[in-house]
Structure 1
Amino acid sequence: MTTEVAIMNRQAVALAADSAATAYSGGRPIYTHANKILSLGAKHAVGVMIYSSATFMGIPWETLIKMFRETLGNQQQHQLEDYGKLLVEFLENNKELFPEELQIKYAMSRIDDYFESLIIETLSHRLDFSFFENQSEINEEDIKKLFSDIVEEELEKYANGETYVNKPKEYGQLIEQKLGAHVDQIIAELFEIFPLDDKTKENLKQLATYLFIYHPEDSQEYDYTGVVISGFGDKDIFPRVQPLKIFGLLF
């Protein structure tokens, strides 16, 4: 567990954090240490604190913030929130740092982790409960039906989740075009000894797309970075704090 604190009054804001951090490799957490509080330079009365993942698409946040600081130069922003917008634009526009092959690798890692959690955690829990409730043996068809129900529930949950994508339908089509063959391969490998019916396969493929479009309230959020930007824009009278959650970059 890590700890990050922001304390603010009408004159200033103070940030404090421990050095424990989490980096991700192949979707698996690696616990390490990192500098979590960074400055945007002497010309900007702004600090940045990070929590959760210490990396973004495999690049340390400390490196990214230093690069972002260089792009800012001495040009101050009017409101604190402008720094958050510029940071997101900086990440989106640096295609050389995040080439498409890296984006696909990130997406496949997240999809693979999610599918495995459906099997290892959700399905296993439901099987245990079903056995305890019925006190009878469960055959292969029972397992397939149970898993099919789980996938349908997840699909409905994500479909009803909040989205921050401007055109979710068009973006979903782009994801399917770019990732479709890779998702088919993941499904084939994960369920090689546990064949699924065509409807469940299609639902899983749809879920893989929804992972990057919708955010249900009770979904498990992992491999993201919390970015807390705090301080003053040059037109701000009082200090402000802007929290962001940044997951990844995909197309």
Structure 2
Amino acid sequence: MTSEICVMNRHSLVLAADSAATVSRWEDGKKEERYFKGSNKIFQLSNSEPIGIMIYDSADLQRIPWELIVKTFRSEFASKSFRSVREYGLQFLSFIEHHRGLFPAKYLDELLVENVDQIMIRFLNMINDDDAVKAVATDVAAANEAKKAALDNYIAITRTFPLAPPLTQEDLAAAKAKHLVRLEAEAEADLRLFSDSAPLDKASLIDLGLEALFRRPGIFLSQTGIVIAGYGTDDFFPSYVEFSCLGFVGERLCAMEKGDHAITRRDSGFFKAFATTAMADTFTMGFGPDVFNLVRSYLRDVLQDFAGKLGANPPNLADLVEEAVSTHTDKWTNDVFERHSRPLRRVIGSLPTDELAELAETLVMLESLKERESYISTLN
């Protein structure tokens, strides 16, 4: 699992990452992921300004390595600089979306057809595994009707979701018109191979594949986290901006901003972990997400048992228990923050650059060690 860290104060900023990377692809409607080590995930984004970029989750953007994308951007924008870190991020995403050297129009067309085809296969497999279909599997006519009903149901459910920004209804209609002939051929092949000869409507299957891709790309495309950090030309103190990038749907790049932080004259130190964060959370907050969830779960059980022993069973017991759990959680987490997290941030704010780097490296190593030991324990 990937572990990445951003630590900054008024003096400097440090990015740190392990070398694990993920490459994803779809095959017969199933997502396959491969993990490997030795990957570089931190790059210089500008030749002239102190701007870095760090990536996590996927090592490539629809088969184009992120390292190649970053190097191409750095080469083409060698003499340009921007006022803020956010402007660097937006310019980087715009560069990707409009670069027809890295992402030719023909390649993007092939990607869209390929993605819709894999989605159609995935839904056909889901239809075959539907409980209503399995219940009448021995009756061919009834099974075919159950499959038609399942297909219609998936279309109805999918259309309840809004189109994913920046995609529009016009983009969806244009994609269908442009690729209908190829999608019909793919749908016919998929129905022969994956539908057990059920007479499902080809047009409905195509609509389902397109609607699912345009409305829920996060389910079907591999996500890459992008952290851009450093100093814009107008910045006196460092900052970072985080984006989530899903890749292309047609010629549109699906990406959105996830978060940001800038050091100010009053904000002396900041720490942020990305991807796998358990050890970093434990270090910075005094407890990890597993402890947080366990405390809430056990407290809820204890309160319900205590109410039972008292013979109290009001109709709103569940609401009362949740209110007590929330109140308890707020009190102890706020106390931990004041006693642990706030002093730690003050310490980070005073660290010199070399100690910031040592802190970031140590936390990444601890996260990697924890993940490795957790993996080994599952094999025993």
Q: List per-residue Cα deviations over 1:52-99 (Å, max 9, x = no partner).
A: 222223221101100001122132211211112111221122213222
Distance change >3 Å, CA 181–CA 31, structure 1 → 2: farther
Cα deviation, residue 10, structure 1: 3.8
Q: Is 2:130 aligned against 1:126?
A: yes
Deviates more, 1:151-160 or 1:109-118: 151-160
Distance change >3 Å, CA 246–CA 45, structure 1 → 2: farther
SS at match of 2:248: coil
SS at match of 1:15: strand
Relative contact order, CA 8 A, sep 6+: which one is greater?
1
Amino acid at match of 1:235: D
SS at match of 1:208: helix
Distance 2:47 2:144 in 1: 60
Q: Which residue of 2 aligns with 1:194?
A: 197
Q: List per-residue Cα deviations over 1:187-227 (Å, max 9, x = no partner).
A: 111111423343xx3222222322443238xx624333222
Q: List per-residue Cα deviations over 1:227-249 (Å, max 9, x = no partner).
A: 22222322244412222223225
Identical residues among aligned pairs (%):
21
Mapped contact 2:89–2:241 kept (Cα < 8 A): no
- Pair member with larger Rg: 2
Distance 1:246 1:232 in 2: 26
1:80-159 superposed matches below 5 A: 80-120=85-125, 122-127=126-131, 138-159=138-159
Distance 2:133 2:207 in 1: 27
Deviates more, 1:144-153 or 1:238-247: 144-153
Mapped contact 1:4–1:18 kept (Cα < 8 A): yes
Q: TM-score, normalised by structure 1?
A: 0.80
Which of 34, 39, 45 is equivalent to 2:44? 39
Q: Which residue of 1 aligns with 2:59?
A: 54
Q: List per-residue Cα deviations over 1:151-173 (Å, max 9, x = no partner).
A: 3343334322342136x222112
SS at match of 1:78: coil
Q: List per-residue Cα deviations over 1:12-34 (Å, max 9, x = no partner).
A: 44333322223346655444442
Distance 1:139 1:52 in 2: 45
Q: TM-score, normalised by structure 2?
A: 0.56
Mapped contact 1:227–1:246 kept (Cα < 8 A): no
Please state which structure has a larger fraction of its residues in helix: 2
Distance change >3 Å, CA 137–CA 110, structure 1 → 2: closer
Deviates more, 1:154-163 or 1:63-72: 154-163
Amino acid at match of 1:242: E
1:163-202 superposed matches below 5 A: 163-165=164-166, 168-192=168-192, 193-198=196-201, 201-202=202-203
Q: Which residue of 1 aligns with 2:23?
A: 23
Q: Which residue of 2 aligns with 1:206?
A: 207
Distance change >3 Å, CA 16–CA 170, structure 1 → 2: same
| Unmatched tracts of structure 1, length 5 or more | none
Distance change >3 Å, CA 119–CA 49, structure 1 → 2: same
Deviates more, 1:60-69 or 1:237-246: 237-246
SS at match of 1:220: helix
Compute the RMSD of aligned alpha carbons.
Answer: 2.8
Mapped contact 2:127–2:133 kept (Cα < 8 A): no
Deviates more, 1:51-60 or 1:153-162: 153-162
Deviates more, 1:221-230 or 1:103-112: 221-230
Distance change >3 Å, CA 73–CA 196, structure 1 → 2: same
Distance 1:58 1:137 in 2: 40
Number of paired residues?
Answer: 240
1:67-78 superposed matches below 5 A: 67-78=72-83
Distance change >3 Å, CA 238–CA 32, structure 1 → 2: closer
Mapped contact 2:128–2:147 kept (Cα < 8 A): no
